[in-house]
């Protein structure tokens, strides 16, 4: 300090000033004192302290879609390395790693994909002196969407593909489906996590190479997923039903040979019981069958499958010409037609074999066979108070009337209702004063749907009276021009009609090949 204060030297003539400021000029003076106490002239020297050498740091980085790893290398300065500090937000927040090593690493995890992070790294020495901050911007990896095929189903002429998409860095924008290994694609635009597509017009018994991919809002595509699907063999519905018969009552089917106790003996295959899988979608190719197009198989008669409407027809299907009220219709066609002759019924001629067929359209009506309907009727006793076998014999069997009517559309026979019950009830009368009759089959007869509906059979020993199924499950009757019953259109399919798929349940009815 230019001689303001003095410090006694040492014998080695070396003295160190400590605790000085860096990069500061000091005016050093040195003098010698001899043994007689005489001082030399001071020696003057201006000395500037060095700048403190802080540590330095460099770094490299690796990344994934959700993490960034920083590999740092520290170089000591005048002090020793004591710790490394890391930030991913431009230095707003720091993570400290205590280490004296010249290398260190830290991984930021849980990051967002395709996002830029402002990485900062610095080293601190044991004197708490910091290096310059190493700066780098690192963008996490982009994550493409992921596609998967969750399920497929097929008919003889179609394949339905159900797909799932998992978003990556961006939201899902569309699904793409291919049936020819990716040569051509069908696009479904949706942001949903699932999508489906049905390929139609395919060939039966043919393997198709299904491909699916997902595209996100940045047009990034998933990897393509694939599956080989073979369409079903094309078979007639008649063959399909017959193939399901294994033993009496199995799969809800009875084979009415002459040896079947109380059976019809006409070699028909008939569905019976509470709720067999005998649903058919007729008149529609919609993925979910509309209720108006849902039918049930009565059975196979010869080489033809016979269908009955699963519930009942409405004015939308058969018009209003024979309408009474609330989708109930006059059997005769009107309140003024007091006849129980089917050939005179305008319900028959105008509604069922007129409006109904027109509404179905040519494609579907061509699949319906023209049928000879036995419409002479049977007596009250043989129809209502007899059992299934007797009613069958007098309605369409050995003792049937010779009166017939040829048309595509009719109504169910009484005996068809009887034989639709579990075989336990085939010996029961249709109606009995003691109620030990077909109402006992309620819940075990799929043709009882809780509604009263007309049959095609008149009571030949009554005037203008027609048989009908009552809602409670027993047989009843009413005036064809007055009583209020629903109508269940019934018809035989042409023997050539094929099924393209389905399992026969209400949710997955048999489909008709177009």
Do the Cβ atoms of 317 and 359 come closer than 8 Å?
yes
Do the Cβ atoms of 495 and 303 come closer than 8 Å?
yes
User: Distance between CA 425 and CA 404 in Å, rounded?
Assistant: 29
Residue 48: exposure state from Cβ atoms within 10 A (0-12, 13-18, ≥19): exposed
Average pLDDT over residues 151-179: 95
Instruction: State yes or no: pLDDT of 106 exceeds 80.
Output: yes
Instruction: State yes or no: pLDDT of 107 exceeds 60.
Output: yes
- What is the Cα 455 distance to its own chain's centre? 40
Nearest 5°: the CA angle 369, 373, 378 is: 160
The pLDDT score that the predictor gives to residue 233 is: 86
Instruction: State yes or no: pLDDT of 9 exceeds 60.
Output: no
Lowest-confidence pick of 13-17, 213-217, 446-450: 13-17
Instruction: State yes or no: pLDDT of 176 exceeds 60.
Output: yes
The pLDDT score that the predictor gives to residue 441 is: 96
The pLDDT score that the predictor gives to residue 238 is: 98
Instruction: State yes or no: pLDDT of 221 exceeds 90.
Output: yes
Both structure tokens of 106: 């830290």
User: Distance between CA 6 and CA 15 in Å, rounded?
Assistant: 12
Both structure tokens of 41: 């002239």
The pLDDT score that the predictor gives to residue 393 is: 98
The pLDDT score that the predictor gives to residue 180 is: 97
Task: Give the containing element (helix H, strand E) for 418.
Answer: helix 414-419
- pLDDT band for 2, please (50, 70, 90 cuts): confident
Going by C-beta distance under 8 Å and a sequence separation of 6 or more, which residues neighbour residue 429? Answer: 384, 385, 386, 387, 436, 437, 438
**Residue in 376, 375, 394 with CA at minimum distance from that of residue 384:** 394
Do the Cβ atoms of 225 and 198 come closer than 8 Å?
no
Lowest-confidence pick of 4-8, 281-285, 423-427, 502-506: 4-8
User: Distance between CA 177 and CA 260 in Å, rounded?
Assistant: 51
Helix (H, G, I), strand (E, B) or coil at 397: coil
Instruction: State yes or no: pLDDT of 10 exceeds 70.
Output: no
Instruction: State yes or no: pLDDT of 166 exceeds 90.
Output: yes
Average pLDDT over residues 270-298: 97
List b or e across 163-195, with b for residues whose CB sees 16 or more CB atoms inside 10 angstroms. Answer: bbbebbbbebbbbbbbbeeeeeeeeeeeeeeeb
How far apart, in Å, are the Cα atoms of 453 and each of 39, 304, 487? 140, 24, 6
The pLDDT score that the predictor gives to residue 484 is: 84
- Alpha helix stretches (DSSP H) within 262-408: 315-318, 346, 357-360, 362-365, 380-383, 388-395
Average pLDDT over residues 303-320: 97
**Residue in 422, 417, 429, 433 with CA at minimum distance from that of residue 390:** 429
Lowest-confidence pick of 101-105, 230-234, 388-392: 230-234
Average pLDDT over residues 270-288: 96
The pLDDT score that the predictor gives to residue 231 is: 94
Average pLDDT over residues 263-289: 97
Report which of residues 146 and 33 the model is more confident about. Answer: 146
The pLDDT score that the predictor gives to residue 398 is: 96
User: Distance between CA 446 and CA 310 in Å, rounded?
Assistant: 9
Instruction: State yes or no: pLDDT of 11 exceeds 80.
Output: no
**Residue in 475, 479, 453 with CA at minimum distance from that of residue 466:** 479
The pLDDT score that the predictor gives to residue 12 is: 57
> How many CB atoms sit inside 10 A of residue 60's CB?
11
Q: What is the pLDDT of residues 439-485, one digit of tens each?
A: 999 999 999 989 999 999 999 999 999 999 999 999 999 999 998 89
Helix (H, G, I), strand (E, B) or coil at 364: helix
Q: What is the pLDDT of residues 37-53, one digit of tens each?
A: 899 999 999 999 989 99
């Amino acid at each position: 300090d230019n001689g303001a204060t003095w410090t006694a030297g040492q014998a080695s003539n070396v003295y160190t000033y400590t605790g000085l400021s860096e990069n500061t000029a000091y005016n050093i003076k040195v003098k010698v004192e001899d043994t007689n106490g005489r001082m030399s002239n001071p020696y003057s020297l201006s000395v500037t302290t060095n700048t403190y050498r802080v540590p330095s740091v460099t770094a490299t980085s690796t990344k994934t879609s959700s993490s960034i790893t920083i590999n740092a290398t520290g170089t000591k300065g005048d002090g020793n390395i004591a710790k490394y500090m890391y930030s991913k937000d431009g230095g707003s927040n720091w993570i400290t790693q205590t280490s004296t090593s010249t290398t260190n690493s830290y991984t930021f995890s849980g990051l967002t994909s395709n996002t830029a992070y402002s990485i900062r790294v610095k080293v601190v020495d044991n004197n708490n002196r910091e290096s310059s901050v190493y700066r780098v911007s690192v963008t996490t990896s982009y994550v493409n969407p992921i596609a998967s095929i969750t399920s497929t189903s097929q008919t003889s002429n179609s394949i339905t593909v159900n797909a799932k998409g998992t978003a990556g860095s961006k939201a899902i924008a569309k699904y793409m489906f291919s049936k020819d290994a990716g040569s051509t694609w069908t696009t479904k635009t949706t942001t949903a996590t699932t999508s489906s597509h049905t390929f139609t017009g395919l060939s039966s018994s043919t393997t198709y190479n299904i491909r699916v991919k997902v595209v996100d809002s940045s047009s990034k595509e998933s990897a393509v997923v694939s599956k080989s699907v073979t369409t079903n063999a094309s078979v007639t519905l008649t063959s399909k039903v017959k193939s399901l018969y294994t033993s009496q009552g199995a799969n809800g089917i009875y084979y009415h040979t002459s040896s079947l106790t109380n059976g019809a003996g006409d070699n028909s295959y008939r569905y019976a019981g509470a709720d067999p899988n005998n649903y058919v979608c007729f008149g529609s190719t919609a993925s979910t069958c509309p209720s108006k197009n849902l039918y049930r198989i009565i059975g196979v008669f010869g080489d033809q499958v016979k269908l009955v409407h699963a519930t009942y027809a409405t004015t939308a299907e058969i018009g209003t010409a024979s309408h009474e009220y609330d989708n109930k219709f006059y059997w005769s066609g009107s309140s003024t037609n007091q006849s129980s002759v089917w050939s005179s019924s305008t319900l028959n001629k105008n509604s069922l074999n007129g409006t109904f067929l027109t509404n179905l359209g040519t494609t579907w009506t061509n699949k319906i066979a023209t049928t000879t309907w036995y419409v002479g009727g049977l007596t009250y006793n043989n129809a209502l108070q007899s059992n299934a076998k007797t009613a069958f014999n007098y309605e369409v069997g050995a003792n049937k009337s010779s009166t017939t009517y040829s048309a595509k559309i009719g109504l169910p026979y009484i005996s068809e209702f009887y034989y639709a019950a579990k075989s336990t009830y085939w010996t029961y009368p249709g109606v009995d004063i003691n109620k030990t009759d077909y109402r006992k089959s309620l819940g075990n007869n799929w043709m009882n749907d809780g509604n009263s509906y007309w049959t095609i059979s008149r009571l030949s020993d009554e005037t203008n009276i027609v048989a009908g199924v009552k809602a409670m499950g027993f047989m009843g009757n009413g005036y064809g021009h007055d009583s209020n019953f629903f109508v269940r259109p019934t018809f035989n399919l042409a023997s050539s009609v094929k099924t393209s798929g389905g399992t026969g349940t209400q949710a997955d009815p048999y489909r008709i090949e177009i």
